[in-house]
Every structure is written in C-alpha cells, then in structure tokens.
C-alpha cells in the first residue's frame, strides 16, 4: 500500500508500545489488517564488538566456510550422491574441515588487503526513532462505496474505532 494514504493515529517511542496499541485495537474488534506499524526516522547503528586482527579474520573466514561445507557434505551424505558407504555425518565432518581450511584463506587475504583500514568487528542494525501506528482509512474513503450504497457509511465506522493514543498529522 502507498504510505501517503495512511493516516497516523498514534506514535510511540518503542516498538513494544506500538505492539500493545495494535493488540488493544484487535481486542476491541478493529480490523487490524488495515493497520501498519511504521518505524520513522530510521538510523543505522554499527556496534563495534572488538578488535579484528589477522587471526580473527582467518577464524571468521574458517567458521563461514566450515558451516557452508558441513551443510553441503551432510546433504551429499544423505542423498548418497558420491559413495553410499560413507555416512552423512562423516561427509559433514569432512566438509567442515575442508570448508574451514578453504574459508580461512580468503578471510585472511581480504583482511590483509584492507591494510588496517578496518581492524575491528561490528554488528549493524537499524534503529527507528519512533513507531507510528497508522491505518489506511484515507484510502478507504477515496474508494467508491461497494453495493447499492445503503449500508453503513465510513464515518460511522470511523467513530466506533478506539484510539490508543494522540493523533499525529
């Protein structure tokens, strides 16, 4: 749906507060399929988790390669694509060892190629400043009424809607 036709009915500083508001609307019979929780003023936060040296880069590459190749080895062992005598777990172990060896080298090379420009490990996440609870009532008002037009108007439906917070325009 187009974000421009949504009307903000409340704003909250935490996602949990916005979630409680939608739950409150649901508990009172509001058609929550019309509601959206929209994170506003989003910023990227990169939390530094520690130093990254050559050994850490090699270890991170080894872990990535080991996981991927262990999964492939396990699948090959289960499907008996290569040798029906060798079990899936043994192939997973071989894949893990091979993947660790092969993954460590690119991890080390990429880290060395950066020449100290990024000697730290980090985790990135998006963090909104506020959460708006909005509904698409404006879109519903713009649509022509269905049927012969003798049913309830959208104004009557709007007046029975519970409000969980102050309206924000």
Is pTM beyond 0.85? Reply is no
What distance in Å separates the CA atoms of residue 134 and residue 54, rounded to the nearest whole number? 49
The single residue listed with the structure tokens 């520690």 is: 50
The single residue listed with the structure tokens 């974000």 is: 3
Mean pLDDT of the chain: 74
What distance in Å separates the CA atoms of residue 143 and residue 166, rounded to the nearest whole number? 26
Q: What DSSP state is assigned to residue 144?
A: P
Q: Are 61 and 107 in contact (CB under 8 A)?
A: yes
Q: How wide is the angle at C-alpha 41 spanned by C-alphas 40 and 44, nearest 5°?
A: 115
Q: Which pLDDT does position 99 carry in this prediction?
A: 83
Residue 78 CB neighbours (<10 A): 13
Domain ranges (residues) in the chain: 3-42+128-159, 46-125
The pLDDT tens digits of the residues spanning 83-105 come to 655 676 777 787 888 888 888 88
pLDDT band at 163 (very low <50, low <70, confident <90, very high): very low
Q: What are phi and psi of 153, to 5 degrees?
A: -85, 160
What distance in Å separates the CA atoms of residue 16 and residue 10, rounded to the nearest whole number? 13
What distance in Å separates the CA atoms of residue 88 and residue 76, rounded to the nearest whole number? 7
Q: Are strands 130-135 and 120-127 parallel, antiparallel or unpaired?
A: unpaired
Q: Are 80 and 58 in contact (CB under 8 A)?
A: no
């Amino acid at each position: 749906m187009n974000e421009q036709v949504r009307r903000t009915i409340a704003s909250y500083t935490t996602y949990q507060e916005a979630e409680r508001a939608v739950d409150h609307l649901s508990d009172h019979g509001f058609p929550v399929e019309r509601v959206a929780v929209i994170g506003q003023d989003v910023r990227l936060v990169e939390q530094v988790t520690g130093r990254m040296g050559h050994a850490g880069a090699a270890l991170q590459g080894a872990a990535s390669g080991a996981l991927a190749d262990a999964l492939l080895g396990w699948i090959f062992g289960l499907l008996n694509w290569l040798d029906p005598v060798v079990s899936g777990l043994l192939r997973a172990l071989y894949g893990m060892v091979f993947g660790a060896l092969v993954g460590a080298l690119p991890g080390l090379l990429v880290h060395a190629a950066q020449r100290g420009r990024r000697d730290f490990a980090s985790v990135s996440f998006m963090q909104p400043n506020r959460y708006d609870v909005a509904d698409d009532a404006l879109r519903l008002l713009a649509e022509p009424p269905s049927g012969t037009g003798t049913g309830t108007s959208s104004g009557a439906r709007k007046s029975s809607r519970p409000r969980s917070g102050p309206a924000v325009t």
